[in-house]
Amino acid sequence: KMENKIKTLEQGKKIYPEVKFLTYKDRKRILVTGGAGFVGSHLVDRLMMQGHEVTVVDNFFTGRKRNVEHWVGHENFELLHHDIVNPLYIEVDQIYHLASPASPPNYMYNPIKTLKTNTLGTINMLGLAKRVRARLLLASTSEVYGDPEIHPQNEDYWGHVNPIGPRACYDEGKRVAETMCYAYEKQENVEVRVARIFNTFGPRMHMNDGRVVSNFILQALQNESITVYGEGEQTRSFQYVSDLVDGLLALMNSNYSLPVNLGNPDEHSIMEFARIIRSLVGGESEIIKNPAKEDDPRRRKPDISRAQKYLNWQPQVPLLIGLNKTIDYFLNELRRSRHSERN
């Protein structure tokens, strides 16, 4: 329904999505780092519609202005082109810290930058939170559990990560980002929230970011072979982006400061997943097996009892409904890119 509300330029005059009026007392100044990315831009939509003042900080490495352009010019909205590896001095009440490449090809493209963003960038955001007494929510990841030895994963599990493998820049970067949050909480009384996010999908995922959902949908839509890495017996659990946004808001505004898993426990093997997407799209794509990826976690499924208990949160959107919305989105993106090629 959000997508329908978002109308932009009409006869030269910008029409913004409707935002709620909040009194000064209830209105918060909220920073979203990585707010021009996939998850960040959906979070920004929700915070703006709730009537808050939102500042997005993004270096546009994987994010796009287009994801938030429907807010540009709105009096409650500000977009800063800034790299969080550098210090940032602004005044805010809450910080949603999402800036970091998230898909394996993106974070492996420049592992040193991924490390800098997650370490120096997180220190800067914690330093900012400390100075202005803001609460900070870190977008951590299920990757902190690595290739897990327990199933499903609960928050007390310490993880099984190869510190020198190809995924380490991201996994270890997020692990130390969590460590930093609790060090600033303990030593400097910074209020922190840590969301361990499991695989999430939906509109505004990047076309070419190489994640399984976007790859399979695009391959199926274009009648190309669907590329399963390895035997396809590895499993993942996929959450629709609006459920994640609900969870992030609930966590930020809760009194619970330990890490919380946010994900959908509906687990599928990657082979099953390829078949589901092919049947939803309805093409003739062949499913082929490519070489397995190094250190690819074999199983992943969140134990969400903590989120249920402390946030009263659980995912609402069934896989097939979320997938259909995402397929529609990619169909439009393909049309759009073909259109711009022609012109």
Specify the residue, 153 or 285, whose C-beta has the smaller distance to ligand NAD.
153
Judge whether 96 counts as a catalytic residue.
no
φ, ψ (nearest 5 deg) of residue 328: -55, -45
For ligand NAD, the binding residue among 16, 29, 55, 62 (CB under 6 A) is 62
Catalytic residue among 16, 96, 170, 184: 170
Residue 139 host element (H or E): strand 135-141
Site of interaction with ligand UDP (CB under 6 A): 87-89, 103-104, 123-124, 127-128, 130-131, 199, 211-212, 215, 227-229, 234, 236, 270, 293, 296
- Going by C-alpha positions, the residue among 142, 140, 133, 270 that lies closest to residue 188 is 133
44 binds ligand NAD (CB under 6 A): no
Q: Residue number with the shortest CB distance to ligand UDP?
A: 127
CB 161 within 8 A of CB 144: yes
End-to-end CA distance of the chain: 31
Specify the residue, 27 or 82, whose C-beta has the smaller distance to ligand UDP.
82
| From ligand UDP, ligand NAD, none, interface partner of 61 (C-beta below 5 to 8 A by class) | ligand NAD
Within residues 179-208, the interface with ligand NAD by CB under 6 A covers 197, 199-200
For ligand NAD, the binding residue among 34, 104, 148, 259 (CB under 6 A) is 34
40 binds ligand NAD (CB under 6 A): yes
Within residues 309-328, the interface with ligand NAD by CB under 6 A covers none
Residue type, 20: K
- Going by C-alpha positions, the residue among 62, 59, 45, 66 that lies closest to residue 88 is 59
Specify the residue, 221 or 244, whose C-beta has the smaller distance to ligand NAD.
244
Specify the residue, 19 or 132, whose C-beta has the smaller distance to ligand UDP.
132
The 10 Å Cβ neighbour count of residue 25 is 5
> What CA–CA distances, in Å, run from 323 to 122, 273, 320, 327?
32, 11, 5, 6
- Going by C-alpha positions, the residue among 172, 189, 307 that lies closest to residue 252 is 307
| From ligand UDP, ligand NAD, none, interface partner of 237 (C-beta below 5 to 8 A by class) | none
Question: Can you tell me the distance from the alpha carbon of 225 to that of 88, in angstroms, rounded to the nearest whole number?
Answer: 45
Specify the residue, 84 or 281, whose C-beta has the smaller distance to ligand NAD.
84
Q: How many residues does the chain have?
A: 343
Within residues 88-147, the interface with ligand NAD by CB under 6 A covers 98-102, 117, 121, 139, 141
Cβ at position 298, least distance to ligand UDP in Å: 8
16 binds ligand NAD (CB under 6 A): no
> What CA–CA distances, in Å, run from 262 to 75, 116, 140, 283?
32, 25, 10, 32
* β-pairing verdict for 235-237 and 192-197: unpaired
Question: So which residues are the catalytic ones?
Answer: 170
Chain residues that interact with ligand NAD, rule: CB under 6 A = 33-34, 36-40, 57-63, 83-85, 98-102, 117, 121, 139, 141, 197, 199-200
